[in-house]
């Protein structure tokens, strides 16, 4: 029996100041409502425009569970289209990415569409004469997503007409994208290195929350990062610290380190850890990089750009970026208990290759299905997904460093172990779930 | 469990049969979870590589599922023993079925021998069992009268698919 559909009060009741009801993670009905309301009401990440450099290039992905296409139109702009034929629903593209040429052609009955989705031709068109076809849904072609924004290469789309405009939705949080992009001497990123795809048997929000969960690394990752620290202790004195140890060992930093790193809260569920420092702060300098940055920006500005150590920036609803290492994780919902995690990496255009090499090493050591750090995390998510079926307690506690006056505050920096970002994500969740309901 | 992990070669140059036996023994050590002995089969400068891309040629500027030196492999082996390694409580088990390894090239002058082995690999944990199909390429060389692995490359047939946890070694 549906409990939540059309019931704004019941949905709002799932989110309390200091706890959330387990149905936000386990209920298939709530999940379907997220797909119908929360995702279409939000600006959702689609892809990067370097994935579609030339006219006709496309990349297939999803917003929530809906199949969509990112396309480079003949006029050079990027479009976002629903990836379904207006005739009978057939997915239009054969590969995840490719080039359509001047138009898309459906493989079923050969209707064709311009790269903005509009209908180009139908074979044996006279069969539709005097049928009122012009008034049909099909006549307008592949439906475009109307609200699309290309922010310095990062493409976002909002399916519904209502909701907030792009600037209002993201506000000051875009500074994390700016910092990631500015780390290229020419201010440009390129998707590079391939995408890691990791299937998780848990709710997508567990992953989003975990990005600002700073009380778990030294516990859940003791098995991996702790072992790295122990094994490295046995290295002969004077051995140069390998890149891999530089990457994994900081996960074992003490609570104090994470408390002091700080967390910043922005509007609409966005926020970042690492206001002052982060696990990325102490990486070795890459030869030649600073000189290039200095030449491009001047010394002071170059230092300011590279001095940012933002750890994880969460963009509500479902991505996280790591500016210092040019990495983006996309938490793609599949079902209440199933999430595909895609971890994308970017090359800083005109910067030394070694930066990309380190980014890729980070990605495979931390975010791959073969990663020991990934194993630590997934084990916890899956145990939570299972444990939440207990009726002994229907609530998940998010109370650490709660303060009654926090709702409505924005752009504040707080203690790095606060669960404020999680409470904040759920406030945004309730807002975009019920918007227009 | 009585199999000797590292058999001494009869002559300076290994026979095809010795190369084949070595590859088969390597997977047996994994299946029997004799990971310390398994690690000893790797040369100090060895790499274990599991590409992410079909026909991948570059392990550095293209991401891989694994591209690990002996230090990282030894960290994995230590982690599997850890008391707080929760993703291994309960432990995974694995099982290899190999086609007979084929000797692709032998170059005694360069001390380099390459074998190619199609295989099915099964990993289980609790009630779940997952089957993977892959080809293993071993680059071997002789050190002190014993074969050592310089590079083991595992190409999954579906290297670009979305996987759940893969926790042991293929
Ligand atoms: S389903 Fe696409 S043309 Fe018929
Ligand atoms: Fe983690």
- pLDDT, tens digit, for every residue of A50-90? 999 999 999 999 999 999 999 999 999 999 999 999 999 99
**SS3 category, A59:** strand
Confidence of residue B165 (pLDDT cuts 50, 70, 90): very high
Is B80 an 8 Å CB contact of chain A?
no
- What per-residue confidence (pLDDT) applies to B1? 57
Distance between CA atoms of B138 and B114, rounded to whole angstroms? 6
Q: Do residue A363 and residue B78 have CB atoms under 8 angstroms apart?
A: no
Q: What DSSP assignment string belongs to A244-306?
A: HHHHHGGGG--HHHHHHH-EEE-GGG-EEE-SS--TTTTPPPPTTHHHHHHHHH-HHHHHHHH
Name the helix (H) or strand (E) containing B127. none
Going by DSSP bridges, is the β-strand pair B146-156/B42-51 parallel, antiparallel, or unpaired? parallel
Residue of A nearest to B50 (CA): A370
- pLDDT, tens digit, for every residue of B17-40? 999 999 999 999 999 999 999 999
Distance between CA atoms of A373 and B50, rounded to whole angstroms? 17
Mean per-residue pLDDT over chain A, rounded = 97
Which amino acid residue places its CA nearest to atom 1 of ligand 1? Answer: A88
Average pLDDT over residues A199-204: 98
Q: How far A194 CA lies from chain B's nearest CA (Å)?
A: 6
Confidence of residue A408 (pLDDT cuts 50, 70, 90): confident
- Per DSSP, chain B holds a count of helices (H) and strands (E) of 3, 7
Q: Which residues contact A11 (CB under 8 A, 6 or more apart)?
A: A4, A30, A33, A430, A433, A434, A437
Distance between CA atoms of B114 and B156, rounded to whole angstroms? 18
- What per-residue confidence (pLDDT) applies to A124? 97
Nearest Cβ partner for A223 among B53, B84, B160: B84
- What per-residue confidence (pLDDT) applies to A413? 97
- pLDDT, tens digit, for every residue of A222-251? 999 999 999 999 999 999 999 999 999 999
- pLDDT, tens digit, for every residue of B63-78? 999 999 999 999 999 9
Q: What is the ipTM of this complex?
A: 0.97
The proportion of chain A whose per-residue pLDDT surpasses 90, expressed as a percent, equals 98
Distance between CA atoms of A145 and A169, rounded to whole angstroms? 17
Q: Is the dihedral of CA B133, B165, B58, A94 positive or negative?
A: positive
Q: Do residue A198 and residue B163 have CB atoms under 8 angstroms apart?
A: yes
Interface size between A and B, measured as CB pairs under 8 A: 102
Where are any strands of DSSP class E within chain B? Answer: 42-51, 64-69, 93-98, 102-107, 112-125, 128-143, 146-156
- pLDDT, tens digit, for every residue of A259-316? 999 999 999 999 999 999 999 999 999 999 999 999 999 999 999 999 999 999 999 9
Q: Do residue B86 and residue A374 have CB atoms under 8 angstroms apart?
A: no
Percentages helix, strand, coil for chain B (3-state, rounded to 5) are: 20, 40, 35
The proportion of chain B whose per-residue pLDDT surpasses 90, expressed as a percent, equals 96
- What per-residue confidence (pLDDT) applies to B138? 98
- What per-residue confidence (pLDDT) applies to B2? 67
Q: Is a pLDDT exceeding 80 seen at residue B59?
A: yes
Q: Which numbered ligand comes closest to the C-alpha of A93? A: 1
- Looking from the CA of A220 toward its CB, the CA atoms found within 13 Å total 18
Where are any strands of DSSP class E within A292-429? Answer: 313-315, 319-322, 327-335, 338-348, 395-397, 412-414
Which amino acid residue places its CA nearest to atom 3 of ligand 1? Answer: A109
Distance between CA atoms of A346 and A326, rounded to whole angstroms? 5
Q: What residues of chain A lie within 8 A of the CB of B45, using their CB?
A: none
Q: Do residue B52 and residue A196 have CB atoms under 8 angstroms apart?
A: yes
Q: Which 8-state DSSP code applies to residue A144?
A: B
Q: Is a pLDDT exceeding 90 seen at residue A13?
A: yes
């Amino acid at each position: 029996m549906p409990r939540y559909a059309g019931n704004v009060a019941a949905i709002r009741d799932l989110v309390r100041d200091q706890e959330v009801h387990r149905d936000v993670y386990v209920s298939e009905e709530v999940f379907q409502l997220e797909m119908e309301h929360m995702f279409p009401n939000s600006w959702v990440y689609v892809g990067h425009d370097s994935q579609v450099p030339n006219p006709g290039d496309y990349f297939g992905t999803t917003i929530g569970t809906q199949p969509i296409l990112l396309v480079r139109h003949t006029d050079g702009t990027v479009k976002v289209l629903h990836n379904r034929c207006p005739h009978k629903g057939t997915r239009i593209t054969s590969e995840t990415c490719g080039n359509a040429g001047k138009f898309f052609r459906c493989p079923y009955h050969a209707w064709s569409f311009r790269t903005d989705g509009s209908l180009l031709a139908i074979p044996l068109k006279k069969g539709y004469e005097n049928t009122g076809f012009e008034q049909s849904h099909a006549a307008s072609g592949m439906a475009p997503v109307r609200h699309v924004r290309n922010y310095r290469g990062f493409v976002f789309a909002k399916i519904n007409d209502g909701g907030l405009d792009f600037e209002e939705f993201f506000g000051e949080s875009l500074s994390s994208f700016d910092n990631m992009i500015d780390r290229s001497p020419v201010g440009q990123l390129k998707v590079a290195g391939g995408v890691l795809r990791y299937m998780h048997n848990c709710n997508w929000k567990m992953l989003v929350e975990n990005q600002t969960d700073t009380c778990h690394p030294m516990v859940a990752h003791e098995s991996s990062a702790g072992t790295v620290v122990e094994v490295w202790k046995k290295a002969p004195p004077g051995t140069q610290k390998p890149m891999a140890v530089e990457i994994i060992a900081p996960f074992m930093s003490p609570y104090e380190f994470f408390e002091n790193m700080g967390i910043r809260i922005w509007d609409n569920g966005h926020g970042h850890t690492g206001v002052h420092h982060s696990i990325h702060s102490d990486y070795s300098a890459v030869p030649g990089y600073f000189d290039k940055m200095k030449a491009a920006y001047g010394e002071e500005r170059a230092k300011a750009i590279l001095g940012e150590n933002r750890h994880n920036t969460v963009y509500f609803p479902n991505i996280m970026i790591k500016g210092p290492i040019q990495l983006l994780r996309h938490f793609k919902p599949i079902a209440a208990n199933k999430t595909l995690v895609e971890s994308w990496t970017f090359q800083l255009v005109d910067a030394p290759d070694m930066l990309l090499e380190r980014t890729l090493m980070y990605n495979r050591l931390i975010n791959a299905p073969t990663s020991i750090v990934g194993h630590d995390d997934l084990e916890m998510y899956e145990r939570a997904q299972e444990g939440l079926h207990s009726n002994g307690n229907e609530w998940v506690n998010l109370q650490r460093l709660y303060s009654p006056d926090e709702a409505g505050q924005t752009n504040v920096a707080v203690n790095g172990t606060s669960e404020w970002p999680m409470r904040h994500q759920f406030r945004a969740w309730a807002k975009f779930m019920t918007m227009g309901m | 469990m009585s199999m000797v992990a590292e058999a001494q070669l009869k002559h300076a140059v290994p026979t095809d049969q010795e190369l084949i036996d070595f590859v088969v023994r390597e997977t047996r050590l994994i299946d029997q979870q004799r990971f310390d002995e398994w690690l000893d089969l790797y040369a100090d400068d060895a790499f274990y590589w599991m590409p992410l891309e079909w026909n991948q040629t570059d392990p550095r500027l293209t991401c891989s599922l694994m591209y690990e030196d002996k230090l990282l492999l030894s960290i994995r082996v230590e982690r599997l023993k850890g008391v707080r390694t929760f993703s291994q409580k309960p432990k995974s088990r694995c099982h290899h079925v190999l086609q007979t390894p084929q000797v692709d090239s032998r170059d005694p002058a360069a001390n380099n021998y390459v074998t190619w082995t199609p295989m099915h690999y099964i990993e289980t944990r609790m009630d779940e069992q997952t089957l993977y199909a892959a080809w293993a390429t071993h680059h071997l060389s002789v050190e002190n009268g014993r074969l050592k692995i310089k590079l083991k490359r595992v190409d999954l047939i579906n290297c670009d698919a979305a996987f759940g946890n893969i926790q042991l070694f293929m």
